[in-house]
Amino acid sequence: MTQKLTILFDLDGTLVDTAPDLLTAHNHVMKKFGYKTKNLDQIKDLVGKGAALMLGRSVWGSARKELSKIDDKKIKDKMVKEFIDFYGKNIVVKSKLINGVYSFLRWANSNDISMGVVTNKQEHLAVDLLKKIKIYDFFEYVAGRNTFEYCKPDPRHLTNTIEVMNGTINKSLMIGDSENDADAAKSAGIPMILLEDGYTEKKIEQIHNDHIIKDFVGLEKIIFKYLND
């Protein structure tokens, strides 16, 4: 029996453009705790490493003198809880699928490709988002930031997910939009497909990749090669 191909997907900025709803939640927290808000382009630079780091980086970048305040664990924990509570209630207001995602997922499913999500979002938020935006049923497994004891860019976030899905490293690949995805894929030894204009501060030439795509339209042509290797 030929081993099935396994594709792992990042979530924010890869499958779903979540930045508008993340921005709303972020700015809600910033206003409540007395910090400066951000715009859409700025929030895309902060997403991808979890709520705590996003909020911390947001504050540090806007006011260095506030560093000691955000370092107070009680305040930080309150901010993170407020963010997760608010975001969880407003998770699919403006968020939308990246162009071509739904058609690609249907194609992959029809070709017996195993698919999983590996995200630094909290697992329950990732599952809820995927369900509400109506693509959850395409995936065999969803690994969030808190699913294992480690998360991207640690390659074990990917390799453990592949193992859970009964896949193999040499028949797996990663699709993502940032250095977190790329660094994890490189360390795991699996091909990396990188989306342009991702949720990252880095330029595209600074991020490891095997293929670069604008969106999911026509991605089948790239995947077909791996499907038949």
Q: In this structure, which amino acid lies at residue 48?
A: G
Last residue of a domain, one of 69, 89, 109: 89
Residues 73, 136, single domain; the answer is no
Residues 14, 53, single domain; the answer is no
Last residue of a domain, one of 41, 58, 89: 89
Residues 207, 103, single domain; the answer is yes
Residues contacting 29, CB < 8 A, separation 6+: 55, 79, 82, 83, 86
User: How many distinct structural domains can be found in the chain?
Assistant: 2
Residues of the chain with pLDDT under 50: 1, 62-68
12 is catalytic: no
Residues 153, 187, single domain; the answer is yes
Q: What is the pLDDT of residue 116?
A: 98
| Residue 204, domain extent | 6-18+95-227
Q: What is the pLDDT of residue 176?
A: 98
Last residue of a domain, one of 89, 108, 140: 89
Residues 113, 26, single domain; the answer is no
Residues 77, 127, single domain; the answer is no
Task: Give the global pTM.
Answer: 0.91
What is the C-alpha separation between 186 and 158, in angstroms, rounded? 11
Residues contacting 122, CB < 8 A, separation 6+: 51, 84, 144, 145, 146
Residues 65, 171, single domain; the answer is no
Question: Which of these is catalytic: 10, 177, 181, 183?
Answer: 10
**Tokens representing residue 194 in the block:** 């990188």
Q: What is the CATH number of the domain that holds 39?
A: 1.10.150
Q: What is the pLDDT of residue 71?
A: 57
What is the C-alpha separation between 121 and 210, in angstroms, rounded? 25
Residues 136, 213, single domain; the answer is yes
Asked if residues 166 and 15 have their Cβ atoms less than 8 Å apart, the reply is: no
pLDDT by residue (tens digit) across 18-71?
999 999 999 999 899 888 888 998 888 877 666 777 777 777 654 444 444 555
Residues 119, 191, single domain; the answer is yes
Residues 12, 73, single domain; the answer is no
Q: Is 67 exposed, middle or buried (0-12, 13-18, 19+ CB in 10 A)?
A: exposed
Q: What is the CATH number of the domain that holds 163?
A: 3.40.50.1000
